[in-house]
């Protein structure tokens, strides 16, 4: 029989399989963080939960969904989530709906409404960027190379856009953040980084629940991999794997405060003009008493996508944001700024672009070993 290796598939199937493998590699920081949360007990809400979950898990709660918004399908009953055996979530924040019907051109996807801190859940289509209300069936066009995926509003997913031949080669590559804002303009996420070669964690880490938490585990330090396990690894991995500084946990948060209500000039839906701040705060889960060590110093955030934000419209012909660098005079004070390590805010370098998926900040160089804040002084929070 024909082998199942993706490179043996005929075209166009081989090309689609290759892109799926690349997307898996891009999401490895997200998967790695989920594994850390599940193994370390550092996130109580994830303790004992599988990485891949059925839709009903974590979406409990009764009651009816809110009134159907324009364009939404029928409400999703609780029983539909119990019977949805083809869809699943990765962690709590990424919903995947594999297409299992040959020749399908359209699928109906049930999006959970509960499990978002008391507020109705919202989801963003990864393919189109559309904001969707939870609690309803949503129709999604599909093809041979597409698989419906949705990011939960209020979440931040870490990624690496550069695809390497192995995960080990990508350990020091820059990070991208995909932040999906909820209706209140908030989002939060986590990223666990380590050197990629450490073989085991301190034994005390497995006893942290009985011994008073992570602090005792952290004081024990981190065991490093034997030299034999480092053979063949790039030199920087062998050099930096020695010592206790093998892990760092980064906490990301987006908060937006409303400045005024806004109405789209092109007849579309309105929103709220908001001022948003994206913050990064590094911690050391394996050495809580120390400053952040050299491990993440070579890793930086290079790209941020803010789903749910649109540029302010100057007029219908230009569709320019009034803070985009290309439309500002020097010193206008309206462009995004960045503050690193407590320093005074400076104009954000790089590129700012409005996309169908949200505001995209590119060509950044924000270090993972320091606290930093990005301020977007004016944008529209889509409603």
| Angle of CA points 224, 230, 233, to nearest 5° | 130
Task: Judge contact between 237 and 230, C-beta under 8 A.
Answer: yes
Residue 130 corresponds to which tokens in the numbers above?
Answer: 């559309």
Q: Please, what's the b/e burial string for 296-328 (b: 16 or more CB within 10 A of its CB; e: otherwise)? A: bbebbbbbbbbbbbbbbbeeeeeebbbbbbeeb
d(CA 25, CA 273): 36
Residues 372/339, Cβ–Cβ less than 8 Å: yes
Q: Is 318 left (phi over 0), alpha (psi -120 to 50) or beta?
A: alpha
The predicted pLDDT at position 27 comes to 96
Neighbours of 69 (CB within 10 A): 10
Helix-helix angle 28-40:13-26, to 10 degrees:
50
Q: How would you label 256-289 residue by residue, b for 16+ Cβ within 10 Å and e otherwise?
A: beeeeebeeeeeeeebbebebbbbbebebbbbee
Please return the burial class of 247, using the count of CB atoms within 10 Å of its CB with bins 0-12, 13-18 and 19+.
buried
Alpha-carbon span 202 to 219, nearest angstrom: 9
> Which secondary structure element, helix H or strand E, spans residue 80, and what is its range?
helix 78-83
Question: In this structure, is the dihedral angle defined by the CA atoms of residues 306, 308, 309 and 313, taken in order, positive or negative?
Answer: positive
pLDDT tens digit at each of 383 positions of the chain: 567 788 888 899 899 999 999 999 999 999 999 988 888 777 877 778 899 999 988 766 544 555 555 556 788 888 888 888 889 999 999 999 999 888 899 999 999 998 787 788 999 999 999 999 999 999 999 988 889 999 999 999 999 999 888 888 888 899 999 999 998 899 999 999 887 776 544 444 444 444 444 333 333 333 333 333 334 444 444 434 333 445 788 899 999 987 765 554 444 455 678 889 999 998 865 443 343 344 545 789 999 999 998 876 544 333 334 444 444 333 344 678 899 988 999 988 888 888 999 999 999 999 888 899 999 887 888 76
Q: How many whole angstroms separate alpha carbon 315 and alpha carbon 285?
A: 49
Which residues does 289 contact at the CB level (< 8 Å), separation at least 6?
218, 219
d(CA 32, CA 165): 17
> Which tokens belong to 339?
């503050």
Kindly state the helix (H) or strand (E) to which residue 300 belongs, with its residue range.
Answer: strand 300-307
Give the closest residue to 161 by CA, choosing from 178, 182, 179, 175.
Answer: 175
Return the pLDDT at 189. Answer: 95
CA separation for the pair 24, 11 (Å, rounded): 20
DSSP category for residue 75: B
- Among residues 155, 157, 111, 107, the alpha carbon closest in space to that of 132 is found at 111
So what's the pLDDT on residue 283?
82
Rounded CA Rg of the chain: 22
Q: How long a stretch of residues is the chain?
A: 383
Give the pLDDT score at 100: 85
Short-list 241, 303, 247, CA closest to 26: 303
Q: What tokens were used for 331?
A: 């010193």
Nearest CA-CA partner of 303 in 245, 234, 353: 353
Phi and psi angles of residue 190, each rounded to the nearest 5 degrees, phi first: -135, 155
Token digits of residue 214: 């992570």
Provide the token pair at 81.
């989530």
């Amino acid at each position: 029989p024909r082998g199942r290796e993706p490179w043996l598939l005929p075209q166009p199937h081989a090309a689609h399989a290759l892109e799926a493998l690349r997307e898996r590699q891009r999401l490895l920081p997200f998967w790695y963080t989920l594994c850390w949360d599940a193994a370390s007990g550092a996130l109580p809400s994830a303790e004992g939960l599988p990485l891949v979950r059925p839709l009903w898990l974590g979406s409990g709660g009764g009651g009816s969904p809110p009134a159907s918004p324009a364009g939404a399908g029928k409400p999703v009953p609780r029983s539909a989530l119990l019977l949805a055996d083809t869809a699943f979530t990765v962690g709590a924040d990424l919903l995947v709906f594999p297409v299992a019907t040959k020749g399908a051109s359209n699928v109906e996807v049930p999006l959970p409404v509960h499990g978002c801190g008391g507020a109705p859940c919202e989801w963003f289509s990864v393919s189109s960027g559309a904001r969707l209300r939870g609690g309803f069936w949503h129709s999604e066009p599909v093809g041979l190379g597409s698989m419906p995926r949705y990011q939960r509003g209020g979440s931040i997913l870490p990624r690496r856009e550069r695809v390497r031949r192995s995960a080990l080669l990508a350990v020091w590559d820059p990070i991208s953040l995909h932040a999906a804002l909820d209706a209140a303009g908030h989002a939060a996420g986590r990223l666990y980084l380590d050197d990629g070669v450490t073989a085991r964690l301190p034994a005390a880490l497995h006893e942290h629940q009985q011994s008073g938490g992570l602090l005792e585990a952290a004081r024990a330090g981190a065991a490093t991999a034997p030299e034999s396990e480092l053979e063949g690894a790039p030199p920087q991995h062998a050099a930096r794997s020695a010592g206790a500084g093998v892990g760092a946990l980064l906490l990301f948060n987006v908060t937006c405060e409303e400045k005024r209500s806004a109405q789209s000039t092109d007849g579309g839906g309105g929103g709220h003009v908001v001022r948003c701040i994206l913050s990064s705060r590094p911690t050391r889960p394996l050495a809580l008493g120390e400053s952040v060590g050299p491990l993440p110093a070579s890793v930086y955030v290079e790209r941020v996508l803010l789903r749910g934000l649109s540029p302010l419209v100057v007029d219908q012909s230009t569709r320019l944001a009034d803070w985009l660098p290309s439309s500002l005079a020097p010193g206008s004070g309206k462009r995004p700024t960045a503050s690193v390590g407590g320093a005074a805010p400076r104009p954000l370098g790089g590129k700012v672009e409005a996309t169908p998926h949200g505001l995209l900040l590119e060509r950044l160089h924000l270090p993972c070993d320091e606290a930093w804040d990005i301020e977007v002084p004016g944008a529209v929070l889509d409603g």
